[in-house]
Chains A and B, each alone.
Chain A
Amino acid sequence: MKSELKMIFNFIKRTSTTTHTSLADLRQGERAILGELTLEPATAEHLMNLGLVPGVEVLVAHSGPGGDPRIYRVEGTELALRRELTSCIAIEQLSAAAD
């Protein structure tokens, strides 16, 4: 049961990252509007409580050594996230880097 759920989960993850662009594809200093979070419900809820809600503008503020984890700025919050998460977070629309 658990492994089947995981398969479905991985399938969704794969399709979502191929049809959309993910947060992990942004370069440092770029901005975008957040889309859906294709993550386990508990993780997605935690991220939304921290301000990563679909429709909000996000900026890649800083990057750790080697480019992972990176620090994302959403409104007044800065969050350090690993690529394994950000590759499952869709972005809806790219806008040119502001700075």
Chain B
Amino acid sequence: MSAQCHSGPPTVPVDPSTGTTLRTVALVGPPNSGKTTLFNRLTGLRQKVANFPGVTVEHHIGTVRGEDGSEIAIVDLPGVYSLNPVSEDERVTVDVLKGKMPGIGQPEAVVVVADVTNLSRHLILAARVIELGLPTLVVLNMADEMRKQGGSIEVLSLAQQLGTPVVLTSAVTGEGVDAILNFLNTPVAPPEPLGLPVLQSARGYRDWAVMVGTKSKYQRPATPVWTQRLDRLFLHRIWGPVIFAVTVLLVFQVTFVLGQGLSGLLQQGLQTTGEAISTRLPDGMVRSLLINGIWNGVSSVLVFLPQILLLFLVIGILEDSGYLARAAVIADRTMSRVGLNGKSFIPLLSAYACAVPAIMATRTIASKRDRIATILIAPFMTCSARLPVYTMFIAAFLPNKAILGPFLGLRAAAMLGLYVLGFLMAVITARLLKSTVLKSETAPFIMEMPPYRWPTAASLGLRLVDRSKIFLVRAGTIILTVAVILWVLTNFPMHNGKPPAIENSIVAGIGHTIEPVIRPLGFNWKIGVGIVTSIAAREGIIATLGTLYGVDPESHAMDLQAALRNELTLGGAVALLVFFAFALQCASTIAVVRRETNSWKWPAVQFAYMTIVAYVAALVAHQLIR
């Protein structure tokens, strides 16, 4: 599934028995109507969902086994408000529906997913899809929420007026999913043309939708009382910003304090296991490679998994509950003061996980210039690969002191400071771009507020499983490779069949070559090697130092943090953190920027700019603090 997300647009699979492509059914609907939750229910696949418009920016394909045993391909499309696309993700939807998407023929049937708590608006989209003339099923989703809020509708009457079957469903409880499967299995005749208003004005469409709704005795559900009450609190003149600030502080405090505790436990476990394996192996090169090289390098990165999962859990709860949309409203005033496009906020927000999906999410931005500007600043946002580096150096160099009682400690504050630093540099860069090469009008801030919902364990669990997979795959591929290469470089050239003293190894040679460049920043050659390997992936520096210190007999017995304190001054440590906050050390980001901008120009400009900014800022930091 994740392979689909990164290896070009997915295509419909071929049926091995007949050699033809599978029957295809497309899933269409407005953003945040629950299409992806429904898609996951139907296909058993697990795409990310959130209580947030615009989560799906690419189409995904899954299959359902029909009653006759044949498979049917289901295409989950990005949400659209109309069939008149303004941004690239909406164009994907329209292209698929009109059969213009390569790799996918025109779908045989369409399932329109509408949010029944807000019918008239969604009926207009449904009508436009029905007008395409494909066999259509109209799914009225979120039926459970509608009933809870005193809403109702006569489904049969609506079906008669639309000329298509209509079902009430709840993707969360599973209600009505059988009816959808039934539709997929039985071919339906294409609908008759609707008597849509001749004058295709927004007002005409709306009057039509209201008329259809009235004839089907549609009773719109009330806005949930809880949503109103919570909004009165979270958007309160004084309490709103206070709660926002406390929430941000708590995210960092929880991630740092609780995460450190869990990481400590994992570290002990990994160390004990490593020692146990070590005693069972005969002394020699193999043991050195396995334990000093691979085990030390990979496990020094692995210990940060609990902390990253904790961050994802906390932010996942904020996202799924609907609070994040309110936080965006509270933060918007500040965002508009610094001249940032309101819509840039959502892709930037998602960059806390990784710049790669954030850069892909810029497809929702209609203006090409705004899109490039957002792509260029996204890697300044603190991604989860920086988290281990930050944690490691902060824990090694800063004491564990409370600043605001239980709300904020010095270490969590330093972490927050680094996140703010990245954000500020993103903002400064945005201003610079907008006033020079990428001049454009700022797009208006228009944001739909989702109702508050309880985060489901399934959705949260899915995020954690996905994140663990990504993290473990990186540890098992990039980080493992880095550790092996480093072990080889530290153990050669051999001297009388024995590895050299570390100062005489190849890696020291490489390190000493780059040392003059980084000496002004307060870094020695070992840190320099770490910076080189972290160009592949940021957390590579930890594995590098883990391996280097593991091999070096002088620091072999020390833990990594104590070894670091031996190597760096406080000024050097701060310079390193600043360097990591600004530098573009990520091969996957460079690759995705090239793909999304379709040229090497932008990734090259971005890499050069970020490296220069990082170098100068680290130099300043080191000169100020040393």
Q: Report the separation of the CA atoms of residues A20 and B394 in the bound assembly, to the nearest whole angstrom.
A: 58
Q: A50-B81, A84-B444 are in contact. Are A56 and B206 (CB under 8 A)?
A: yes
Q: Out of A63, A75, A80, name the residue touching B121 (CB < 8 Å).
A: A75
A82 CB contact (under 8 Å) in B232, B237, B240, B336: B336
The answer to whether B223 and A73 touch across the interface, beta carbons within 8 angstroms, is: yes
Decide if B82 touches A45 in the complex (CB within 8 Å).
yes
Decide: A47 near B366, CB < 8 A? Known: A55-B206, A65-B237, A82-B342: no
Which of A65, A73, A85 is within 8 Å of B444, CB to CB? A85
Quote the shortest CB–CB distance from A48 to chain B (angstroms).
Answer: 4
For B222-240 the 0/1 string (1 means CB < 8 A from A) is: 0100001001100101001
Whether A13 sits at the interface, judged by CB under 8 Å, is no
Interface-centre pick from B124, B202, B336 (highest chain A CB count, 10 A): B202
Across-interface contacts of A47 in B (CB, < 8 A): 446
Q: Which residues of B contact A43 (CB under 8 A)?
A: 444, 446
B350 at the interface (CB under 8 A from A): no
Contact B231 A71 (CB under 8 A): yes
Known: A46-B81, A50-B121. A78 touches B333 (CB 8 A): no
User: Judging by beta carbons under 8 Å apart, are A80 and B206 in contact?
Assistant: no
User: Residues of A contacting B328 with CB < 8 Å?
Assistant: 80
Contact A63-B235, Cβ < 8 Å, known A50-B121, A54-B203, A82-B332:
yes
Mark each residue of chain A from 52 to 72: 1 if its CB lies under 8 Å from any CB of chain B, else 0.
011110000111111011010
Residues of A with C-beta under 8 A to B235? 62-64, 71
User: Which residues of B from 306 to 341 have beta carbons under 8 Å from A?
Assistant: 325, 328-330, 332-333, 336
Tell me the complex Cα distance, A75–B563, Å. 62
Given contacts A46-B86, A76-B223, contact A64 B329 (CB under 8 A): yes
Contact yes or no, A62 B223, CB < 8 A: no
Q: In the bound complex, do residue B241 and residue A78 qualify as a contact, i.e. CB atoms below 8 Å apart? A: no
In contact, A80 and B445 (Cβ under 8 angstroms): yes
Q: Which residues of chain B come closer than 8 Å to A56, judged between CB atoms? A: 206
A10 CB-CB contact with B under 8 Å: no
Asked if B117 is at the interface (CB within 8 A of a chain A CB), the reply is yes
Residue B84 is within 8 A (CB to CB) of chain A in the complex: yes
Query: How many angstroms between the C-alpha atoms of A60 and B534 in the bound complex?
Result: 50
A60 vs chain B, min Cβ distance (A): 12
Contact A71–B329 (Cβ < 8 Å)? yes
A42 to B366, Cβ gap below 8 A?
Answer: yes
Cα of A45 to Cα of B220 in the assembled complex, Å: 24
With A and B bound together, what is the CA distance between A79 and B325 in angstroms? 10
A67-99 interface bits toward B, Cβ cutoff 8 Å, 1 = contact, 0 = none = 011010101111111101100000000000000
C-alpha spacing A51/B342, complex, angstroms:
20
> What distance in Å separates the Cβ of A82 from its nearest Cβ neighbour in chain B?
5
Measured between beta carbons, the chain A residues less than 8 angstroms from B449 are 71, 78-80
Partner of B447, one of A45, A53, A79: A79
A3: interface (CB < 8 Å): no
Q: Is the CB of A76 within 8 A of B118?
A: yes
Known: A46-B86, A64-B235, A71-B235. A77 touches B445 (CB 8 A): no
Whole-angstrom distance from the CB of A90 to the nearest CB of chain B?
Answer: 14
Q: Given the interface contacts A65-B237, A71-B449, does A80 sit within 8 Å of B221 by beta carbon?
A: no
B579 to chain A, nearest CB (A): 35
Interface membership of A49, Cβ < 8 A: yes
Residue of B nearest to A61 (CB): B231
**Which A residues touch B448, using CB under 8 A?**
50, 77-80
Which of B84, B240, B332, B446 touches A50 (beta carbons < 8 Å)? Answer: B446
Q: A50-B81, A75-B118, A75-B220 are in contact. Are A65 and B330 (CB under 8 A)?
A: yes
Cα(A50)–Cα(B366), bound, Å: 17
Q: Is B51 an interface residue (CB 8 A)?
A: no
Interface positions, chain B 103-162, Cβ under 8 Å from A, are 115, 117-121, 124-125
* Interface residue ranges of B200-259 to A (CB < 8 Å): 202-203, 206, 220-221, 223, 228, 231-232, 235, 237, 240-241
B121 touches A51 (CB 8 A): yes
Chain B residues near A79 (CB, 8 Å)?
446-449
Question: In the assembled complex, which residues on chain A have CB atoms less than 8 Å from the CB atom of B336?
Answer: 82
**A42-B86, A50-B121, A50-B448 known; A76+B81 contact, CB < 8 A:** no
Give chain A residues whose Cβ lies under 8 Å from the Cβ of B329: 64, 69, 71, 80
Using CB atoms, name the residue of chain B closest to A53: B206
Q: How far is the CA of A82 from the CA of B328 in the complex (A)?
A: 12
Q: Which residues of A contact B (CB under 8 A)?
A: 42-43, 45-51, 53-56, 61-66, 68-69, 71, 73, 75-82, 84-85
Excluding A62-B235, A69-B332, A80-B332, 15 further A-B contacts by CB distance (< 8 Å) are A42-B366, A45-B82, A45-B86, A48-B202, A49-B82, A50-B448, A62-B232, A65-B240, A65-B330, A71-B329, A76-B220, A76-B223, A80-B328, A82-B332, A85-B444
Q: Which 5 A-B pairs have the closest CB atoms?
A: A76-B118, A49-B81, A48-B202, A78-B449, A80-B447
Query: What are 6 A-B contacts with C-beta separation under 8 Å?
Result: A43-B446, A46-B81, A51-B120, A77-B448, A80-B447, A81-B446
